Amino acid sequence: MTASALSFTIAQREAAARAGILTLPHGTVETPMFMPVGTAATVKGLTPEQVRGIGTQILLGNTYHLALRPGDELIAELGGLHRFMGWDGPILTDSGGFQVFSLADARQISDQGVRFKSHIDGSPLELTPERAVAIQQNLGSDIAMVLDECPPGNAEVGIIRNAVQRSIRWAERCQQYHTRRDQALFAIVQGGTNLDLRVECAEPLVAMNFPGYALGGFSVGESPEAMHAALPECAALLPEQKPRYLMGVGRPVDLLAGIAAGIDLFDCVMPTRSGRNALAFTADGTIRLRNACHRRDPAPIESDCPCYCCTHFSRAYLHHLFAADEMLGPTLLSLHNLAHYLRLMVEARAAIRTGGFARFHAARLARYEGRN
């Protein structure tokens, strides 16, 4: 029984979009919310204090990486993931499935689970639904995810259908095995952009009465247009009163499309990975700070951004840091990009509360795409 770990209240709606409050064992999350990714028990290049300072309310941790290194039992011995990484707010962990299917070598999938070789040292390992839950219980995240099979984005319908059926059986085993009362277990609806398969997957999972539901299998090769088109109907398959999480998505415009479709939670490595690669997000599109045009530019990345990077440093300074391969460049730009994403969530919530989200969405889309 996991539902007691979580309560979710929808405070305002505008069409399908909603603004809510998600209460978890380690704190409260205003939704819609973006979760910075802390793969290996750290948001790359940032201290928890910096992560908190830009308005982060919930982090994502990667079960696959943490189980391999330093190991979930070690983390449990040291008091759990929150204490280990110095983050006392809510944490969601994924199941490790996506990483096994995208990072690990020599996968053998059966109903039992998936055998693979560690991408770190090649050692043979197995991830089963029970093991995925056990790891996440050791980590002690506020929200755990069921293990699902993630077929390639370009797979044939038959392959996706088999993966969907197996994912349903695995979700049931995860739910059976899960015991932590201070952790909510979310189910994952797969099926790609094929609505029939999404329905096939969602119906039995919804009947199992999980405290929250995710959409998996987006942002894995399909076009943004296909994803944006599929999102409203897919989101509508998930229970109206429960939190909805769109996994691994995406660009700011994708988050806006998700919010419009009724999604509450997002995560993506894009703001931090782009930050490490000198790509900055602004409301008027991305800018590449390595470009020579920024060498003498005294302006901040975004003149109205209240983050530490934008209030203290010029584009010229960031250009210099990346040219000199200085660690502070990735740190400051990861900070700004996350701040940009989180500010977008603040503004989206405010817009939903006042019934102005549709207008806000259209205006931001025009700016992001350079049409204003």
Closest C-alpha among 34, 13, 35, 31 to residue 22: 31
Say how far apart CA 22 and CA 31 lie, in whole Å: 7
CB 144 → a second copy: shortest distance, Å? Answer: 21
Q: Is the four-CA dihedral 131, 133, 137, 140 of positive or negative sign?
A: positive
Binding residues among 16-45 for a second copy as defined by CB under 8 A: 40-42, 44-45
Task: Count CB neighbours of 112 within 10 A.
Answer: 12
Using rule CB under 8 A, residue 327 touches a second copy? yes
Contact 219, 269 (CB under 8 A): no
Using rule CB under 8 A, residue 243 touches a second copy? no
Closest C-alpha among 4, 3, 87 to residue 49: 87
**Region from 46-54, 89-97, 170-178, 194-202 binding a second copy, contact rule CB under 8 A:** 46-54
- The secondary structure of residue 302, as a DSSP letter, is S
Residue 262 exposure: Cα atoms within 13 Å on the Cβ side: 21
Using rule CB under 8 A, residue 355 touches a second copy? no
Amino acid at 112: Q
71: which residues sit within 8 A by CB, 6+ positions away? none
Among residues 72, 88, 94, 121, the one annotated as catalytic is 94
Nearer to a second copy, 70 or 204 (CB): 70
CB 290 → a second copy: shortest distance, Å? Answer: 13
Binding residues among 80-119 for a second copy as defined by CB under 8 A: 84-86
Using rule CB under 8 A, residue 69 touches a second copy? yes
Q: Is 267 a catalytic residue?
A: yes
CB 125 → a second copy: shortest distance, Å? Answer: 17
Q: Is 284 a catalytic residue?
A: no
Active-site residue list: 94, 267
Question: Which residues contact a second copy by CB under 8 A?
Answer: 40-42, 44-50, 65, 69-70, 74, 77-79, 84-86, 295-296, 298, 308, 312-314, 316-317, 319-321, 323-324, 326-328, 330-332
